[in-house]
Amino acid sequence: MNLLGSVIICTVLWGFVLALPLISLEETDPELTAGFVEGDMILDTVSRNGLRAEVYRWPNNTVYYKFFTEFDQEHRDHILRGMKMIEDVSCIRFEEATKNTKRFVNITGNAGGCSSTVGYRSKGSQSYNLQLYPLDKGCFRLGTIIHEFLHVLGFYHMQSTANRDEYVFINETNVKDGKLHNFKKYDAETVDDFDQGYDYASVLHYSAFAFSANGEMTIVPLKDADAAAVMGQRVGMSQSDINRLNLMYRCPVKV
C-alpha cells in the first residue's frame, strides 16, 4: 500500500474514533457499579433515618468486623490501614469479631464493585464488599475503603444533603438513562450536616461525572468553579468529614 493510501485509511479511522461517544465514568468507578442505592449503599426500609437516629450508631463507638474473604496480606493490611486512619482522627474503634460476636461487618472481596450497609443494624451481620483491585486502584483506594466504612458508621453521600441545590446543580440531561434516582436529595429530618456546611472535598462526595452518559458533568459546582477538580477525591477524609464523624459519635475533642 502506498503512503497516500495509508494516510487516507488513518484519517478515516481517526474520524470514526472521534465520532464515538465518550465513555461514562460510571464504567470505571466501582463505587457506582454495585447496583445499590446511589451505587454503593445497601439500605433497608428503615435505615433512611441513619444519620439522625441514634439506633443506627455503633454501640460504644466500636465497629466489629470479620474477614469472610481470605484476602492476601497486602490487601488485608490495606483495609486495616483504612480503619486505622479513621481511628487516628476519632474515638471510633475497630475490633475483629470473635465466634461469640453477634453484630459485625462481614468484609468480602466479591466481584460487583464496592458496597456497604449504612449504619449499625441490630440483627445479623452487615455487608461490606471491596471487589479485588491492585492496591490504590478501584475499591482498594484508601479513600474508597474509608468511604465505605463511613457508610457503615451511618453517613450518606455529601450530594444527598438537604441544602445541596445551593452548592451544586444536578444536570439531568447528562445523567445516564435509568440512573437519575442515584441523585436523590434527603430532607433535613433524615440527614444532619452537624453544622459543618457543604463540602466539595468530602470523601463522601460523588465525582462531577458520576453516572454520566456522555462524559459531561452531572454535578456542577455553583459556589466554586474549581471545585469540580476535587469532587470525588478518594485520598482520605477532609477536615469536615472528621468533624462530622466526631460530632455524630460525640467523640471528645482532641487537644
Task: Report DSSP letters for 133-168, one per residue.
Answer: -STTSGGGSHHHHHHHHHHHTT---GGGSTTGGGTE
Which residue has 464504567 as its cell numbers? 27
How do 219-221 and 168-170 pair as beta strands?
antiparallel
Q: Give the position of cell 479485588.
A: 132
Count the neighbouring beta carbons within 10 Å of the beta carbon of residue 192: 17
Residue 168 CA, distance from chain mean position:
18
Q: How many residues in total does the chain contain?
A: 255
- Please list the active-site residues: 148
Quick one: DSSP state of residue 245?
A: H
